[in-house]
Amino acid sequence: MAGKTKLYYFDGRGKMESIRWLLAAAGVEFEEEFLETREQYEKLLQSGYLLFQQVPMVEIDGMKMVQTRAILNYIAAKYNLYGKDLKERALIDMYVGGTEDLMGFILLFPFLSAEDKEKQRAFIVQKATSRYFPVYEKILKDHGQDFLVGNNFSWADVHLLEAILMVEEKKSDVLSGFPRLQAFKARISSIPTIKKFLEPGSQRKPVPDDKYVETVRRVLRMYHDVKAN
């Protein structure tokens, strides 16, 4: 029998955070092994499990999975968060792709210089309010349902809530012009598994700090500066 799902990553958000969100939404308990040294990372490389020499890696159902999207696809399908048919799955993929693009602007934010962070903050808010949030506001308005796809809770809803909260950390009133997204945020946040994940003491990670950045740089030997968009 396969053991408890286990995540291999840093003690911080990065690309693993969306995986944590989806597992939590599905009510799946998981444990984590945090990469803190270069030696740990090299041991994983030597094991051969990091097919493309990258983390995240997730141990689930007897598999050691890499590639974030493949991991998320598997979890969503396994726990019925991926729509009821191929058309719904296509919609979920489109909406998740959009929120992924938005979150991509935030992912490297902690690694920027102070000057670049201010530029990137404005860029993130501008993109969220002009390109991404209007799309989801219109979707919710047009079909008048509680969830993005098929009026059932799905991966698309989990991903959008995660993205909303990430942008709100950059500008707290970013949803002021989006009443349906405000209601959506409140509605999804009240789902029991999500509510539990949002409570203090959960495995949700805080906003990345200098310690997280230093650990990632040291383990991955990131010697170059990251540039803003």
Q: What is the pLDDT of residues 2-32, one digit of tens each?
A: 589 999 999 999 999 999 999 999 999 999 9
Average of per-residue pLDDT values in the chain: 94
pLDDT value at residue 53: 87
pLDDT value at residue 2: 59
Q: What pTM did the predictor assign?
A: 0.94
Coil/strand/helix, residue 63: strand
Residues 32 and 72: their CA atoms lie apart, in Å, by 17
Kindly state the average pLDDT of the residues 122-140. 97
Q: Which residues of 144-165 are buried (b: 16+ CB within 10 A; e: fewer)?
A: eeebbbbeebbbbbbbbbbbbe
Q: Is the pLDDT of residue 1 over 60?
A: no
Q: From residue 176, give the alpha-carbon distance in Å to each of 164, 181, 182, 196.
A: 12, 9, 8, 25
Lowest mean pLDDT among 45-49, 119-123, 222-226: 222-226
CA 227 to chain centre: 21
Contacts of residue 23, defined as CB under 8 A and 6 or more positions apart, other chains included, come to: 5, 30, 75
Kindly state the average pLDDT of the residues 192-208. 96
The answer to whether residues 78 and 22 touch, using CB atoms and an 8 Å cutoff, is no
What is the residue-wise DSSP string for 80-133? T-S-SSHHHHHHHHHHHHHHHHHHHHHHTGGGS-HHHHHHHHHHHHHHIIIIIH
Q: From residue 95, give the alpha-carbon distance in Å to each of 149, 152, 156, 198.
A: 9, 14, 6, 22
Kindly state the average pLDDT of the residues 173-184. 97
User: Any idea how long the chain is?
Assistant: 229
Kindly state the average pLDDT of the residues 100-120. 93
Kindly state the average pLDDT of the residues 118-122. 94
Q: Which residues of 209-222 are buried (b: 16+ CB within 10 A; e: fewer)?
A: eeebbebbeebeee
Helical H runs in the chain? Answer: 17-25, 38-47, 68-78, 86-107, 114-127, 133-143, 155-168, 179-189, 192-198, 210-220
Residue 137's pLDDT band (boundaries 50, 70, 90)? Answer: very high
pLDDT value at residue 89: 97
Kindly state the average pLDDT of the residues 132-143. 97
Kindly state the average pLDDT of the residues 191-200. 97
Which is nearest to 101 in space by CA: 163, 24, 58? Answer: 163
* Cis check: omega of the bond before 56, within 30 degrees of 0: yes
Which domains are assigned to the chain? Answer: 6-79+198-220 (3.40.30.10), 86-190 (1.20.1050.10)
